[in-house]
Amino acid sequence: MEAAWIALALTLKVAGWATALNLVLGVAVGYAIARGRFPGRDVVDAVLTLPMVMPPTVLGYYLLVLLGSHGAFGAWLIEHFGIRLIFTWQGAVIAAMVVAFPLVFKAARAAFETVDPQLEDAARTVGVHEVAIFFRVTLPLAWRGILAGLLLSFARALGEFGATLMVAGSIPGRTQTMSIAVYEAVQAGQDDAANFLVAVTSIVCVAVLLAAGRLVPGRVAARGS
């Protein structure tokens, strides 16, 4: 059972980092796409949403080829920084980030599009700086939608398997996440370990989804105002 707690701690660490990085990236890109009016905007949106519909093994293969020792990006990293991403928890973070990114990006874009531009304009007439407008007007109005997307992205990162297995491999304590541990326990016929891992993962995922459900704007409106 101790191996299960190690896998859980690692899974939370990988999913946590992936979600934190996706928060910054997803919000920034979501804002750019929501507010930006440039030709091909929908195409860019579609490309950014691609990781959500592509099979994780396909994504894993792309990442393996790109970040591997002989890959375009991977070779550069090894040569200049001595950093190897394959078979590391950082590699697992990247795999989880890529598959979960569309969930934050889409939610952020939708949330920013519901913010009334008149409120932002009102702040501008008072002379508030653009950056301050984003943090004091736009973001507070959009944060519920963004948070819901963030929680879904966290849940997705928790359960990521295909891409992670290809890129990070399975090294207990370093890259063997819960989903990989379950897979291997089943293969080895270790039912007790598999059952325990599945139970813990299910509880964590249900908790995350319940929390996300409470943040859906409709329910908030029905409760409060």
Partner 1 sequence: MNRSSRPWSVAAARRALALVVLAAGATAAHAADLTVSAAASLTNAFKEVGPLFEAAHPGTKVLFNFGASGALLQQIAKGGAPVDVFVSADEETMDQAQRQGIAQAARRRDVVSNTLVVIVPGSVANAPKALADLAQASYQRIAIGLPASVPVGRYTKGVLEAAGLWSVIEPKMVGANNVRQALDYVARGEVDAAFVYATDAALMPDKVKVALTVPTQTPVRYPAASIVASPNVQLAAKFIEYLLSAPAQAVLAKYGFGKP
Nearest distance from residue 3's CB to partner 1, in Å?
A: 11
Residue 50: its H or E element: helix 41-53
| Residue in 28, 47, 132, 188 binding partner 1, rule: CB under 8 A | 188
Q: Which residues of 84-98 are buried (b: 16+ CB within 10 A; e: fewer)?
A: ebbebbbbbbbbbbb
Question: Whose Cβ is closer to partner 1: residue 23's or residue 185's?
Answer: 185
| Residue in 189, 221, 222, 224 binding partner 1, rule: CB under 8 A | 189
**Residue 54, CB half-sphere, CA atoms under 13 Å: how many?**
22
Closest CA to 120 of 138, 135, 108, 143: 138
Question: Whose Cβ is closer to partner 1: residue 3's or residue 128's?
Answer: 3
Phi then psi for 207, rounded to 5 degrees?
A: -60, -45
Phi then psi for 224, rounded to 5 degrees?
A: -80, -75
Question: Whose Cβ is closer to partner 1: residue 72's or residue 119's?
Answer: 72
Nearest distance from residue 118's CB to partner 1, in Å?
A: 48
Between residue 5 and residue 44, which ones bind partner 1 under the rule CB under 8 A?
none
The structure tokens 């101790």 sit at 2
Question: Whose Cβ is closer to partner 1: residue 118's or residue 187's?
Answer: 187
The structure tokens 């990781």 sit at 51
Question: Whose Cβ is closer to partner 1: residue 189's or residue 218's?
Answer: 189
Binding flag, residue 62, partner 1 (CB under 8 A): no
Q: One symbol per residue from 159 to 178: x for binding partner 1 (CB under 8 A), - otherwise; what is it? A: ------x---xxxx---x--
Nearest distance from residue 165's CB to partner 1, in Å?
A: 8
Question: Whose Cβ is closer to partner 1: residue 40's or residue 189's?
Answer: 189
Q: Which DSSP letter does residue 87 get?
A: T
Nearest distance from residue 196's CB to partner 1, in Å?
A: 16
Nearest distance from residue 76's CB to partner 1, in Å?
A: 15
Distance, CA of 26 to CA of 142 (rounded, Å): 13
Task: State the DSSP string of 13-29.
Answer: HHHHHHHHHHHHHHHHH
Residues near partner 1, by CB under 8 A = 64, 68-70, 86-87, 165, 169-172, 176, 183-184, 186-190
